[in-house]
Amino acid sequence: MENSSKREDTGRRVEEPVKFYSNSYLKRHNVNELPKAQQIATRSQAKAPDTDDRQVNSTFRYGLLHAISAVETYDRLRDDENNANNQPPKVFLIRGHLPQLARILQDRGWLQMFEEAETCNTAAQPNLIWDCHNDFVEWDLHNIDDKVLLNKFQNPAVYTSKLGMAHILQQEAHWLFEENVADIMFPRSYNPSCELAYFVRDFKRCAALALLRRIVNSAQRQVDAAPLIASMDEVLFALGHCEKFIEEIEHKDIDDDANLEEDCTFDQEWLSISQKLTREIKVPADDLEKLQLAIEKLKERDPQFELNGEQNLWIVKPSDLCCGSGIFITHELHVILNRVRSKPKDYYVIQKYIERPLLINGTKFDIRQWFLVTSTFPLTIWSFREALLRFSSRPYTTTTYHEAIHLCNTAVQEKYHNLAKASEEWDCERLNEYLKYNNDDEPYWDKIYPKMSQAIVLTMLAAQDYMDRRPCSFELYGADFMVMEDLSVWLIEINTNPRMHPPSSKITQRLYRSVMEDLIKIVVDQPPPTQLRVGNFELIYKQKIPESPSHSLQQRFFAYGKSLCRT
């Protein structure tokens, strides 16, 4: 059978027979002595078990043709690269497993380098390094050429850990606000290592508000509540603390000598109130007016009022863990205190839980929004317009705190066999159609997406001082958002190294590949500065750096006066 060809020095192809060697011949001779195409072909032949030497089956024919085709494709790509300004093919290295990215780069003619122990010290550096691990690359950055593309910024934990992000947002968010550009809604959070007293104070206020809301809501729903199990003294005690909170918001407590220690003297009363939150309470109608008035005042003055429900739920998360590991939800103060005191400093972050999220078909969901930072100075941010909706697998309720109900992380929901099928089909377009069922506008694109973009911009502005300014570094992030019943958008956390493999559904399979393809178009192809849209990525922020003041006027400065010492 003669069905192959090879390239002569003149570039013309001439036919050359390809022999099929018997198994006995292959056992006596070294396969590496054969030409490259026949090495591949004969290795394929040698792997076929008990093949009759007189037959060439269809499987072998198919493998041979593809082997020859692969060699010719490699030769053509190599020649094309060499002919293009005599430049060698570009090389990439992936630390971890990201087959979609590898295929995208290989389709562009890039070659893959595989990491070995001595790779970091070799002079032959790849053109692109993609680190899939949460720890920063082990390469010595001083030895990496500035032209090597690197998918990490140094010290990302400062702004992507849960404690780090809470800290910088509490310190910087107020000063970085810019209308329609940078704005954020972020649930208040506490570091128990240094803010435990402030958390306890907030917890008790929220418990008082939850008690009042439960009483008022029960009356408005005209629910036949259980007999009164709280004395009016306890109800008025809760009301008094809500009114005190209103005074603090209005800064009427400046001359108040009360301190945090005095605020902790009502433990028995707060324990009693917390126990009442799990049962219906009914009070005389004449006493509802004071409760309603206090609730309305708080609603007008507290920007995070809508976070509070009837249960006073708090969520406690390990600061540096991912995939929903170690998270628990509770309304009991002693449970939180015991858990955080049993762990090292800066291990947990305590965050107010969103008790009234927007539900779809009775289940909770969050939105995973990808964004790309290609420069830290000037700060340049691209947002991926398509988003992923991640659903819980059980109907939402606040009467139990099971993770399948309250945590939408893919890693958590994959543990349960009754994983919601909606997650395979829902994306931002489907959400938009769902929300505009009774509206003529575009709820997702008009309200939700702009707020997510503004929250991303403000967060990265707050983190800018902690990010290194290496010229060829970039990073892909995954921001998680919750939407409430009033369509307000709340940032929950930002993840470095977001999950991009393996896909968990048909929609993630499509979105993961689309994100990586469009990212490479930005990072490798480098679109012109005037281009605001690349695939599904759109430029949502590019920082304007003011020019240095001109000294063309050659201003002169003089100092007048007498010296304070002898000259």
Q: Which of 163-176 are b and which e, b meaning 16 or more Cβ less than 10 Å from the residue's Cβ?
A: bbbbbbbbebbeeb
> How far apart are alpha carbons 317 and 340 in whole angstroms?
10
> How far apart are alpha carbons 508 and 514 in whole angstroms?
10
Q: Where are the domains of the chain?
A: 59-151, 159-187+358-542, 190-254+261-353
Asked if the model's pLDDT at residue 17 lies above 90, the reply is no
Give pLDDT, residue 283: 67
> How far apart are alpha carbons 109 and 77 in whole angstroms?
7
pLDDT, average across residues 423-435: 82
pLDDT, average across residues 441-463: 95
**pLDDT interval class at 380 (50, 70, 90):** very high
The secondary structure of 485-506 as a DSSP string is: TT--EEEEEEEES---SS-SSH
Give pLDDT, residue 330: 96
DSSP3 helix / strand / coil % (the chain, rounded to 5): 40, 15, 45
Asked if the model's pLDDT at residue 426 lies above 50, the reply is yes
Verify cis geometry, omega within 30 degrees of 0, for the bond prior to 49: no
Asked if the model's pLDDT at residue 509 lies above 80, the reply is yes
Lowest mean pLDDT of 17-31, 141-155, 171-185, 225-239, name the range.
17-31
Asked if the model's pLDDT at residue 269 lies above 70, the reply is no
Q: Is the distance from CB of 19 to CB of 53 less than 8 angstroms?
A: no
pLDDT digits over 53-66, tens only? 444 444 334 443 44
Lowest mean pLDDT of 24-33, 154-163, 322-331, 503-512, name the range.
24-33
Highest mean pLDDT of the ranges 131-140, 335-344, 496-505: 335-344
How many residues are there in the chain?
A: 567
Give pLDDT, residue 27: 45
> How far apart are alpha carbons 560 and 567 in whole angstroms?
16
Asked if the model's pLDDT at residue 449 lies above 50, the reply is yes
Give pLDDT, residue 236: 74
CB neighbourhood size of 342 (10 A)? 9
- Chain-centre distance for alpha carbon 355: 22
Give pLDDT, residue 157: 73
Please state whether beta strands 537-542 and 489-496 pair in parallel, antiparallel, or not at all (unpaired): unpaired
* Domain 159-187+358-542, classified CATH 3.30.470.20, yes or no: yes
At 135, list the tokens. Answer: 């720890």
Percentage of residues in the chain having pLDDT higher than 70:
68
pLDDT, average across residues 110-131: 78
Asked if the model's pLDDT at residue 224 lies above 80, the reply is no
Asked if the model's pLDDT at residue 278 lies above 70, the reply is no
**pLDDT interval class at 167 (50, 70, 90):** very high
In DSSP terms, which residues pair with 315 in a beta bridge? 329, 351
Lowest mean pLDDT of 31-45, 179-193, 275-289, name the range.
31-45
> How far apart are alpha carbons 243 and 250 in whole angstroms?
11
Q: Which residue has the tokens 């009114």?
A: 243
Asked if the model's pLDDT at residue 12 lies above 50, the reply is no
Lowest mean pLDDT of 20-24, 215-219, 410-414, name the range.
20-24
**pLDDT interval class at 69 (50, 70, 90):** very low
Q: Is the distance from CB of 542 to CB of 464 less than 8 angstroms?
A: no
